[in-house]
């Protein structure tokens, strides 16, 4: 399988190079990056050495599709949509890491991503409808057969994997769910940004995007679908001074207040028992993002306040792997007929 | 005023030295620390230079009470209670930074601090009842007249200051409150501890003490008192790789879902308008712990989800100052008839 | 004294606001910043609250000189020189934090700052000659009488204070000096910069500017002057993942290999005994940058390899205070006839 | 090959588990750790999951030698020597990560490790003489045939690999070498230690062990051997607030001051051209420890001050891999007849 990495010099693209370089079943056929196009890879990334030292090329449909079977789009929101239909028309499969195809309707996207919608005049509601939401633990079958995969956002991944088992089985109330998430700075991307300077965000912690963060709508869309009811929830992201890592603390109310922490743990464990990359920890063992760093794992833990039937679910992922490119490669693996975990590290290198 | 610092070599004590050294109205009459007793201060702390270079002395009632008007107890939970009555009997005022007198009944303390209760056989329910909860923005009068002050925990401080205005006026529902807090590592103290090694907790984030953290009961006690109703809530602390700083994100439900973010902001602003160390930020400005680091301030921000009347309140403090010793000095100031903010920095040295 | 802060929104300017706001003897008469001009200060910096909430104004000679006695220029290299003569002509004193007047000849500046020299066509060799090098522990008299002060770079400050006593008295050889320095990221400024993103430089350490760093020439110029001989040395800066702090480890060879660590320590101690902000530590106590953070102190330590008469001198400063704005305020104090340390913190708030 | 990991719960041991678990050619036959003996591995390390979940066992010669071909001793200095002879006598090969066999004479060890020598009464000068210094890029042949390997310290590894090519060929002067090294905190081990608490060492940098650090003597011993002359040098370690990573900046004087940076780079490149884990960077590309983190690589860079023939050589390694356990596995690979790099990651997962 030949894979074109489109947007190779951001964190999404860099992870893709790192991962694909280690998996013999794939060949990187194209490295696209407009700012550095024309220069050699190793000159830009001496620390991610590629033996053949390819050129970074201009991003264009022709260049991408030259030798590729699949295009991995690691591009800013909106930009992906300018390439996707053309790439599909040339027979490529597309795995999109942006938000462009995460909504089931273009209108919803335009509503949430209004700034991007003002720049990119999209007319591909059909592709929004066709696209498969690339959460492989939930959507395995559809992904395997899909030709356009919309990879979930990092926050939605960290929130939905713990929530889905409870929502789909009606274990927790639809109302009153709170998701308090914390992300490392690499989630903000690799573009120069004052707020993400170590001097500015080091030795500090803050919330951002209260109520209105775009991922709220993404989580609500999928959660509503899964539960069969319209779900409105509170989601608060926080910026933490670590490079990579994401942690979500999720609060809900049990329908049956008699359930114990153990009951809830077993339920989660059963739901995901076939997924090697999902680890449900013993009750009272709480995951650190450090435990999953540089891996494609998600660690989960659950506890119940038996006084009143409230439940807390914790999740920890590496935001650039399970939260982004690792998940994209899971999807690529499924689309290629390989094992979902092929080439993805499930062992952490603590500390 | 002569102040004895009992337990001078932990973070609580070090901050006390730092703060009192700058305030001419106070004189440090005693520095107590058992492990280093007999050695000189400057030898142990060349970076907190004291001109007279006093000895660190053995902790005993005699030593403490020699020249002191007030004793600042920066000791582990349980240990404070072995000294307090004797110091009071000798006419000293006592400001206790431990949890020993935070509960209105000794039984409640024994229940929550069972491990310490097994070691220290306490018999001072009368003092538990007498002690004033040292949250100066709430309890100013009582503190001014008190002879035994129980300084709040860092988490309770960060949670109660934002909650009190809403609870006391019945603005938010008593049920379903969620407090998601994040603390720097200095909250865990200065004793060697594997979990707090930079190698172990750097570049990571994790929750701990789910459901059962001791501060849950402390917050619930005060919140119940303030609201006039028994309150059960969810509180989750997280460890963040910064030395100092504490952030709480608090979720609740408005009784009147028609209130806007602005309404709720104004309410907070009015409630605390006489307190120079409390800053209510404009709507959509979210505080970083970095903004209050090394100061005795608390920054607040509030936002409402107008779809459903949910409210989010944010607070940021320096866990060692407003969350601990700075607050203790506020209490000391009140007890001494000074301005509450005397000698306490309200200007941050960003970055 | 009315002080104009020119370039108020970078780290140099922010520190100036922070420091001057606390010193009653000074009044901030002007806050200049082109990008944010026209907006209010508190809106930009809610965490550095100014009671009168002044506007940030356009940087121009007229605006600066309106009410000011002194201008503090916190501007990029080259830009300072476009304002300085005009401000001096209007009777203001100028304290320049850039490198524009650090060299005794304009040609030397043009040689080292060739990039800036291509943009700014300077013709003020007379001012280069007039300017006083603002290292107050060395140049106290001249600074007190000067009208144009060129504040030293952060690295030169951290290297020269430890070296001067030994060089001026011929204790160490002029040849073979090595200065290995480590800086926090705030030394790189507040402008967005990919290399200074926490994601890029967190959890890493690297050297930069080997051999050719501009501060090499600045250190060599002053060291040569002090020693009376042309000195060529090796200086290597490193970037360390802390916001503020600078550490220099300096290696030299004693002329008299019989000198002990104690001899060398006493020599340093005697040389600086009148300076409260300089602390010479006991032999085998080694300073951490954390010990001087947020203060205007410099901590020194020295040790000799008695096998062969090699000497190692350590220094630690806060790069934004003693390494930059704190030192500028020392100069301002001297020019205003105040004590050098007026309003400058000499007590650290560890941890 | 069956490998016993002795001291499995410190950082050396943890890395060994992590690495060996991924290499099919090896089987972990024993996990030894006294404090946790009797408990299961996964319970202690849920984030380094072992499918068979073995018990951690008491450290004894019998337990270690039960099924093992090789013992990897990840023990404190001195303790290794109590096991080594007995293990060798039972036919095991021993790879020791401590300093016990790094010196060619027991007396030298006793001299440097006097504290340990007072506890452990050693009588194995013959083993000191037999032991092979486990720097595989220098000692490949001897390691392949050895039965007792003394793995180098992390600092010596980071200093010797860059120095050996120049010393062995007489390119740099033997006198006046300066090694300024910076290490992450994991180099200080996993035992609770106040100085290594994030609160104490985060946001700070300091030197330690000036002149007398034990690794000085180790570097001098090997450097003297390589150059054929007695070498005395200056080595200064610094503690940097990162978990893993080590950087050395090495200063020397060229015998032939006419050599350029390019000459010196080519020389290094040629010397190590057969080693895939050693990367010599282009002139003016300076390695970050982040570039080699989690890999067994060492990155080198070199630059000459053409004014005076001084040379600076930089090296960056992961102190726990190339600086410790990764190197031990290189040695294990050589002793097992495998490729040196077998199972060792040479691709970094930036950022």
Q: What is the pLDDT of residues D252-276, one digit of tens each?
A: 999 999 999 999 999 999 999 999 9
Q: Tell me if A312 sits within 8 A of B236, measured CB to CB.
A: yes
Q: Could you report the per-residue pLDDT of D139-186, keeping only the tens digit for each? A: 999 999 999 999 999 999 999 999 999 999 999 999 999 999 999 999
What pLDDT does C27 receive? 97
**From D204, which residue of chain B is nearest by alpha-carbon distance?**
B243
User: Tokens 């800053």 label which residue?
Assistant: B279
Instruction: Please state, as a whole number, how many other Cβ atoms lie within 10 Å of the Cβ of residue B23.
Output: 17
Contact residues, chain B, for C244 at CB < 8 Å: 351
- Strands B310-317 and C2-6 turn out to be unpaired
Q: Could you report the per-residue pLDDT of D8-53, keeping only the tens digit for each? A: 999 999 999 999 999 999 999 999 999 999 999 999 999 999 999 9
Contact call for D238 and C290, based on CB within 8 A: no
Q: Tell me if C350 sits within 8 A of B48, measured CB to CB.
A: yes
Q: Is A308 exposed, middle or buried (0-12, 13-18, 19+ CB in 10 A)?
A: middle
For the residues B148-158, what does the mean pLDDT come to?
98
Task: Read off the tokens for C132.
Answer: 């006083």
Residue A269 makes CB contacts below 8 A (sequence gap 6+) with: A280
Contact call for A196 and C197, based on CB within 8 A: yes
One of 3.30.360.10, 1.25.40.10, 3.40.640.10, 3.40.190.10 is the CATH number of A154-317, namely 3.30.360.10
One of 3.90.78.10, 3.40.50.300, 3.40.190.150, 3.30.360.10 is the CATH number of D154-319, namely 3.30.360.10
Nearest CB to A185 within list C184, C198, C242: C198
Chains contacting chain B through 3 or more C-beta pairs under 8 A: A, C, D
Nearest CB to C207 within list D253, D290, D314: D314
Measured CA to CA, the distance from residue A119 to residue B197 in angstroms comes to: 48
Chains contacting chain A through 3 or more C-beta pairs under 8 A: B, C, D
Measured CA to CA, the distance from residue D213 to residue C315 in angstroms comes to: 19
Q: Could you report the per-residue pLDDT of C158-170, keeping only the tens digit for each? A: 999 999 999 999 9
Q: Could you report the per-residue pLDDT of C102-146, keeping only the tens digit for each? A: 999 999 999 999 999 999 999 999 999 999 999 999 999 999 999
Terminal alpha carbon distance of chain D: 35
User: Tokens 């290597």 label which residue?
Assistant: C236
Contact call for C48 and B243, based on CB within 8 A: no
Contact call for D245 and C203, based on CB within 8 A: yes
**Chain Cα centroid distance, residue D334:** 16
Q: Could you report the per-residue pLDDT of C69-105, keeping only the tens digit for each? A: 999 999 999 999 999 999 999 999 999 999 999 999 9
Q: Could you report the per-residue pLDDT of C152-207, keeping only the tens digit for each? A: 999 999 999 999 999 999 999 999 999 999 999 999 999 999 999 999 999 999 99
What pLDDT does D69 receive? 98
Separation in Å, CA of D333 to nearest CA in chain B:
28
Per-chain mean pLDDT for chain B? 97
Contact residues, chain A, for B240 at CB < 8 Å: 182, 205, 240-241
CATH class of C154-318: alpha beta
H/E element holding A332?
Answer: helix A325-335
CA distances from C50 to B69, C18, C28, C226 (A): 37, 9, 10, 42
- Strands A27-32 and B148-150 turn out to be unpaired
Separation in Å, CA of B314 to nearest CA in chain C:
15
Q: Which of B12, B33, B183, B198 to mutate to test the interface with D (most CBs of D within 10 A)?
A: B198
What pLDDT does A264 receive? 98
Q: Could you report the per-residue pLDDT of D216-242, keeping only the tens digit for each? A: 999 999 999 999 999 999 999 999 999
Contact residues, chain A, for B293 at CB < 8 Å: 203-204
Contact call for D242 and C238, based on CB within 8 A: no
The ipTM is 0.97
What pLDDT does D229 receive? 96
* Beta pairing partners, B316: B247, B299
What pLDDT does B249 receive? 98
What pLDDT does A131 receive? 98
Nearest CB to A347 within list D48, D299, D349: D48
H/E element holding D299?
Answer: strand D298-305
Measured CA to CA, the distance from residue B98 to residue B113 in angstroms comes to: 11
Terminal alpha carbon distance of chain B: 35
Q: Is B244 exposed, middle or buried (0-12, 13-18, 19+ CB in 10 A)?
A: buried
DSSP state of D56: P
Contact call for D49 and A347, based on CB within 8 A: yes
User: Considering Cα of B266, then B267, then B270, then B275, what sign does the dihedral take?
Assistant: negative
Task: Give residue C260's pLDDT band: very low, low, confident or very high (50, 70, 90).
Answer: very high
Nearest CB to D178 within list C240, C251, C304: C251
What pLDDT does C252 receive? 98
What pLDDT does B315 receive? 98
Q: Could you report the per-residue pLDDT of C37-55, keeping only the tens digit for each? A: 999 999 999 999 999 999 9
Task: Read off the tokens for A222.
Answer: 């999928």
Reading phi first (left if > 0) and then psi (alpha if -120 to 50, else beta), residue C284 is in left
Contact residues, chain B, for A176 at CB < 8 Å: 176, 253
Measured CA to CA, the distance from residue D56 to residue D60 in angstroms comes to: 12
Chains contacting chain C through 3 or more C-beta pairs under 8 A: A, B, D
Nearest CB to B198 within list D185, D191, D192: D185
Q: Tell me if D152 sits within 8 A of D102, measured CB to CB.
A: yes
Q: Please report the beta strands in A242-340, taking only residues with DSSP state E, as ranges in sequence order.
A: 246-253, 278-280, 298-305, 310-317
Measured CA to CA, the distance from residue D323 to residue D331 in angstroms comes to: 13
Is the whole model's pTM more than 0.95, yes or no?
Answer: yes
CATH code of the domain occupying A2-151+324-335: 3.40.50.720
Q: Which long-range contacts (CB under 8 A, 24 or more apart) does A280-287 make?
A: A281/D46, A282/D46, A284/B210, A285/D46, A286/A314, A286/B206, A286/B207, A286/B208, A286/B210, A287/A247, A287/A314, A287/A315, A287/A316, A287/B206, A287/D47
**From D290, which residue of chain A is nearest by alpha-carbon distance?**
A47
Residue B34 makes CB contacts below 8 A (sequence gap 6+) with: B58, B59
What pLDDT does A312 receive? 98
What is the third-level CATH fold of D2-130?
Rossmann fold (3.40.50)
- Strands C2-6 and C27-32 turn out to be parallel
Contact call for C197 and A190, based on CB within 8 A: yes
Residue C111 makes CB contacts below 8 A (sequence gap 6+) with: C217
- The segments of chain A whose pLDDT lies below 70 read none
**From D183, which residue of chain C is nearest by alpha-carbon distance?**
C205
User: Tokens 């077998």 label which residue?
Assistant: D342
What pLDDT does A15 receive? 97
Out of B128, B154, B201, B264, pick the active-site residue: B154
Residue B118 makes CB contacts below 8 A (sequence gap 6+) with: none
Separation in Å, CA of A14 to nearest CA in chain D:
8
Contact call for D244 and B202, based on CB within 8 A: no
Measured CA to CA, the distance from residue B106 to residue A307 in angstroms comes to: 22
Terminal alpha carbon distance of chain C: 35
Measured CA to CA, the distance from residue B45 to residue B28 in angstroms comes to: 16
Contact call for D289 and C245, based on CB within 8 A: no
* Beta pairing partners, B96: B73, B150
What pLDDT does D120 receive? 97
Separation in Å, CA of D243 to nearest CA in chain A:
7
Measured CA to CA, the distance from residue D104 to residue D222 in angstroms comes to: 10
Instruction: Please state, as a whole number, how many other Cβ atoms lie within 10 Å of the Cβ of residue D175.
Output: 14
User: Tokens 């200056």 label which residue?
Assistant: D234
**Per-domain boundaries in chain A:** 2-151+324-335, 154-317
Contact residues, chain C, for A350 at CB < 8 Å: none
Q: Supply the residues of D annotated as catalytic.
A: 154
Measured CA to CA, the distance from residue C135 to residue C117 in angstroms comes to: 25
What pLDDT does B250 receive? 98
Packing angle, helices B11-22 and B325-335, rounded to 10: 50
* Beta pairing partners, A181: A237, A248
What strands, in cross-sheet order, belong to the sheet with B27-32? B27-32, B2-6, B70-73, B93-96, B148-150, B132-133
């Amino acid at each position: 399988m030949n894979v074109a990495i489109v947007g190779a010099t951001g964190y999404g693209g860099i992870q893709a190079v790192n991962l694909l370089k280690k998996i013999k079943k794939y060949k990187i056929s194209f490295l696209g990056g407009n700012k550095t196009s024309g220069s050699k890879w190793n000159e830009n990334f001496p620390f991610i050495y590629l033996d053949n030292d390819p050129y970074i090329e201009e991003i264009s449909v022709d260049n991408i599709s030259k030798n590729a079977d699949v295009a991995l789009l690691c591009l800013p929101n909106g930009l992906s949509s300018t390439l996707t239909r053309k790439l599909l028309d040339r027979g490529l499969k597309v795995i999109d890491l942006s938000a462009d195809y995460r909504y089931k309707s273009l209108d919803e996207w335009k509503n949430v991503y209004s700034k991007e919608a003002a720049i990119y005049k999209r007319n591909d509601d059909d592709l929004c409808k066709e696209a498969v939401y690339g959460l492989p633990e939930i959507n395995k079958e559809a992904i395997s057969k899909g030709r356009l995969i919309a990879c979930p956002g990092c926050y939605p991944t960290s929130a939905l994997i713990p929530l889905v088992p409870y929502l789909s089985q009606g274990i927790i109330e639809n109302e009153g769910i709170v998701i308090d998430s914390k992300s490392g700075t690499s989630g903000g991307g690799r573009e120069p940004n004052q707020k993400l300077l170590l001097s500015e965000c080091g030795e500090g912690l803050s919330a951002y995007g209260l109520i209105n963060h775009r991922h709220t709508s993404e989580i609500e869309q999928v959660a509503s679908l899964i539960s069969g009811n319209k779900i409105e929830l509170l989601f608060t992201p926080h910026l933490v001074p670590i490079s990579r890592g994401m942690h979500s603390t999720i609060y809900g109310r049990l329908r049956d207040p008699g359930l114990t922490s153990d009951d809830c743990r077993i339920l989660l464990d059963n739901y995901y028992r076939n997924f090697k990359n999902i680890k449900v920890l013993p009750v009272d063992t709480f995951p650190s993002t450090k435990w999953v760093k540089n891996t494609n794992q998600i660690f989960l833990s659950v506890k119940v306040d038996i006084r009143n039937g409230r439940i807390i679910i914790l999740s920890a992922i590496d935001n650039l792997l399970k939260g982004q490119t690792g998940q994209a490669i899971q999807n690529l693996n499924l689309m290629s007929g390989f094992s979902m975990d092929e080439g993805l590290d499930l062992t952490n290198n603590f500390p």
